[in-house]
Chains A and B, each alone.
Chain A
């Protein structure tokens, strides 16, 4: 069905809806009792007008309402409710939507600035155009971020007045700097966007740099508010016994003792680091989804080539940021444990443990989607046969790691299944549910994805380095050593106690990080000035590759929603952990099923809105409107 037919159908339905509404309104108004106008006029003239029973009834009701309002004493509300949806879900959805748009608005300038800088250094105009294309997505998204931010603030004030007032008591000195920075953010963002090509390159790069500095500062302030709710203090060895003690930023009654400790609280920096990396990964994926959307719309080869390249760069940014994200997540989780083991246990070993099985499925899908896109991408380069033979082995490694990571320690089983297994865990498979197996799986996943990138980078290129064989072998040795170390610590983890096993995650992480750094450092000179043995045909990707990009963006968004829930839900029945108790009817942790429903609805709303952002951003490339008569006249003139 063509778009015109759909629009026509919507138009007809809208017309019918308007007619029905008008007719219904007319019917209701017509059937309301009224005194005959002439009689009312006569009675009013004679001063004998009497109220009808209906008017009298309305007047009595108003009087009763007023009397009741006057008799009612003013009571400060602690909580207010939202019918059907509830206060918590309202704030939850608004906060998540605000956060998703904010993450996007903070992330895009980071890589737009980097791409513009590359364009400036190399002198290649295509980088400048690409950076501008990314920046086009910002202005509408910025408005969305501000709108949802205001919406969230009002919702908090209305629905959680006492708690919001408490946060104001703690953080009011940070509000003015926040607003000023927000103003500066708008200034730098719009001057960066509208000033494209209007300023000199250095000045424009300075604007982009300042946009990033201010945006990061805004996020750091907002992060202080939310991390304070989880860790309202710091840990410091006060009594000199070598064991960090909890130093609260507030008194037992909640009064502020130290704004500095409240702001720079224990989980503030881990969240900052995690969010910067996650934002870039998320922003890259959404920008790649935009490119996919434009690619699928493109009518000519030039546009297809441009948006294919844009999608590739967006996905590249997303995956490069995604690779260290599990490490940042591990650091954050370790810091949460260090702050409060109770919180840590709640997160990984109790209420939320099954959430991490869903997270494993999401991350597994992300890795599969990203690798699939890269493998398809090899098709746009001639001479890929040499590398394609590795793909099946990478696919096998990724599939095995995915399966291990998604294997829970305790299976959901029926009574007969439990009897057959001899317990709630499978006698063999439950070993894969333990930390050793999971850490090994995620590290091998990361190494495999990095290898996909490396193969893609080499496709169609031949190194001319004099020591290419030696360097390639060195890379292979580094890669194999890292993989073996990861597997060794994974297997050895089963032979040691729990505390040692948890610490094994650190050498595993360092092995992978070191391998990626060393291999990259070798690869840069190895393929510098490499001979381009084959042509890259941008714009020659199958449509399914573009749907893969959209799938990756969806999975990222859903993952952010899920992890946002666990970070906030960890506090249980506390507004501020250990300080301000939540006494509202929502002071309980909902089921995972319910939480995933809320996350899904939020993701659908976000994608509806981001679709509008994409559409508005794509309008810039369309032809300007011309009245039909003028166009016809122009045509006649040209014909003459």
Chain B
């Protein structure tokens, strides 16, 4: 038996069906709600160990560093603390790491393109103290962290 469905009903069914299908696609992909990173408090009495912990939070949170530093778009962080002092002649590991954060295009690791933003500028806007925490964490990746809140990063 042939079902004679009126044209307006067919149109409504087409509109609802197509919309429902696309909405369904939206439900089956991974669901992630992204909240702004919580503020990081840096106490004047923090030690280098404390700074490493704060740096880890910043690198994984507000800095969104891990989105790129995976050896595909930008160099991975594994061992960066060990090789930082030998990257540019005349620059210590702290100076090199600080330069990478304040002026990332000044030196590019061979094989990678420029484009990383200056981390003290919006939208990341790390403060000088937060920069020290990030440098401490980077030093700790294969090296020994020596940065304190009294260290002058030169920027």
Q: Interface of A with B (CB < 8 Å)? A: 1, 243, 246, 293, 296-297, 337, 340-342, 345-346, 349-351, 354-355, 357-358, 361-362, 412, 497-499, 547, 550-551, 554-555, 558, 572-574, 577-579, 587-593, 595-597, 599-600, 603-604, 607
Contact B26 A592 (CB under 8 A): yes
B15 within 8 A of A: yes
Given A349-B67, A597-B23, A603-B19, are A1 and B6 also a contact pair (CB < 8 Å)?
yes
B111 within 8 A of A: yes
Question: Would you give 24 A-B contacts (Cβ < 8 Å), ordered by A?
Answer: A1-B6, A243-B114, A296-B11, A297-B7, A351-B32, A355-B29, A357-B29, A358-B26, A361-B22, A362-B22, A499-B112, A547-B11, A551-B14, A551-B18, A555-B22, A558-B19, A578-B125, A590-B33, A592-B26, A597-B26, A599-B26, A600-B23, A600-B26, A603-B19
What residues on A are CB-neighbors of B44 within 8 Å? none
The A-contacting residues of B in range 46-86, CB under 8 angstroms, are 64, 67-68, 72-73
The A-contacting residues of B in range 94-123, CB under 8 angstroms, are 105, 111-117, 121-123
Contact A342 B36 (CB under 8 A): no
Candidates B7, B29, B72, B123; contact of A342 at CB < 8 Å? B123
What residues on B are CB-neighbors of A587 within 8 Å? 36
What residues on B are CB-neighbors of A355 within 8 Å? 29
Contact B14 A554 (CB under 8 A): yes
B34 within 8 A of A: yes
Contact A592 B31 (CB under 8 A): yes
What residues on B are CB-neighbors of A554 within 8 Å? 14-15, 18-19
A595 to B116 alpha-carbon distance, docked (Å) = 29
User: Which residue of chain B has the shortest Cβ distance to A362 in the bound complex?
Assistant: B22
B10 within 8 A of A: yes
What residues on B are CB-neighbors of A346 within 8 Å? 64, 67
Question: Smallest distance from the beta carbon of A518 to chain B beta carbons, Å?
Answer: 33
A362 to B115 alpha-carbon distance, docked (Å) = 31
Q: How many residues on B have C-beta within 8 angstroms of the other chain's C-beta atoms?
A: 42
B2 within 8 A of A: no
A328 to B143 alpha-carbon distance, docked (Å) = 46
What residues on A are CB-neighbors of B73 within 8 Å? 345, 349, 498
Contact B117 A591 (CB under 8 A): no
Contact B14 A588 (CB under 8 A): no
B124 within 8 A of A: yes
A125 to B7 alpha-carbon distance, docked (Å) = 31
What residues on B are CB-neighbors of A361 within 8 Å? 22, 25
A499 to B115 alpha-carbon distance, docked (Å) = 11
Candidates B23, B68, B105, B124; contact of A596 at CB < 8 Å? B23
Across the A-B interface, the 7 shortest Cβ-Cβ residue pairs: A596-B26, A578-B122, A573-B36, A578-B123, A591-B31, A589-B34, A341-B115
Contact A604 B22 (CB under 8 A): no
What residues on A are CB-neighbors of B114 within 8 Å? 243
What residues on B are CB-neighbors of A497 within 8 Å? 111
Question: Smallest distance from the beta carbon of B12 to chain A beta carbons, Å?
Answer: 9
What residues on A are CB-neighbors of B33 within 8 Å? 588-591
Contact B34 A351 (CB under 8 A): yes
User: Which residue of chain A has the shortest Cβ distance to B68 in the bound complex?
Assistant: A345
What residues on A are CB-neighbors of B112 within 8 Å? 499
Contact B29 A577 (CB under 8 A): no
Contact A607 B30 (CB under 8 A): no
A350 to B72 alpha-carbon distance, docked (Å) = 14
Candidates B22, B34, B35, B64; contact of A345 at CB < 8 Å? B64
A357 to B26 alpha-carbon distance, docked (Å) = 10
Interface centre among B14, B31, B115 (most CB of A within 10 A): B115
What residues on B are CB-neighbors of A357 within 8 Å? 29
User: Which residue of chain B has the shortest Cβ distance to A289 in the bound complex?
Assistant: B11
A340 to B112 alpha-carbon distance, docked (Å) = 17
User: Which residue of chain B has the shortest Cβ distance to A354 in the bound complex?
Assistant: B29
What residues on B are CB-neighbors of A547 within 8 Å? 10-11, 14
What residues on B are CB-neighbors of A342 within 8 Å? 64, 117, 123-124
Question: Smallest distance from the beta carbon of A395 to chain B beta carbons, Å?
Answer: 21
B27 within 8 A of A: yes
- Given A345-B68, A590-B33, 7 extra CB contacts under 8 A: A246-B121, A349-B68, A361-B25, A551-B14, A554-B19, A588-B33, A595-B26
A596 to B33 alpha-carbon distance, docked (Å) = 13
A579 to B34 alpha-carbon distance, docked (Å) = 20
The A-contacting residues of B in range 111-152, CB under 8 angstroms, are 111-117, 121-125
B28 within 8 A of A: yes
A554 to B116 alpha-carbon distance, docked (Å) = 39
Candidates B22, B72, B116; contact of A498 at CB < 8 Å? B72
Contact B22 A600 (CB under 8 A): yes
B20 within 8 A of A: yes
Contact B34 A588 (CB under 8 A): yes
Contact B115 A412 (CB under 8 A): no
User: Which residue of chain A has the shortest Cβ distance to B116 in the bound complex?
Assistant: A341
Contact A358 B32 (CB under 8 A): no
Contact B117 A340 (CB under 8 A): yes
What residues on A are CB-neighbors of B18 within 8 Å? 551, 554-555, 558
What residues on A are CB-neighbors of B10 within 8 Å? 547
Contact B36 A341 (CB under 8 A): no
User: Which residue of chain A has the shortest Cβ distance to B27 in the bound complex?
Assistant: A593
What residues on A are CB-neighbors of B26 within 8 Å? 358, 592-593, 595-597, 599-600
What residues on B are CB-neighbors of A597 within 8 Å? 23, 26
A573 to B125 alpha-carbon distance, docked (Å) = 14
Contact A572 B34 (CB under 8 A): yes
Contact B64 A350 (CB under 8 A): yes
Contact B29 A592 (CB under 8 A): yes
A434 to B120 alpha-carbon distance, docked (Å) = 32
Interface centre among B7, B19, B20, B32 (most CB of A within 10 A): B19
Contact A358 B113 (CB under 8 A): no
A359 to B23 alpha-carbon distance, docked (Å) = 12
A315 to B22 alpha-carbon distance, docked (Å) = 21
Question: Smallest distance from the beta carbon of A252 to chain B beta carbons, Å?
Answer: 8
A499 to B110 alpha-carbon distance, docked (Å) = 12
Contact B30 A354 (CB under 8 A): yes
Contact A593 B22 (CB under 8 A): no
Contact A596 B64 (CB under 8 A): no
Contact A293 B11 (CB under 8 A): yes
A342 to B121 alpha-carbon distance, docked (Å) = 12
A273 to B25 alpha-carbon distance, docked (Å) = 29
User: Which residue of chain B has the shortest Cβ distance to A555 in the bound complex?
Assistant: B18
What residues on B are CB-neighbors of A297 within 8 Å? 7
Given A578-B122, A591-B32, are A350 and B67 also a contact pair (CB < 8 Å)?
yes
A498 to B72 alpha-carbon distance, docked (Å) = 7
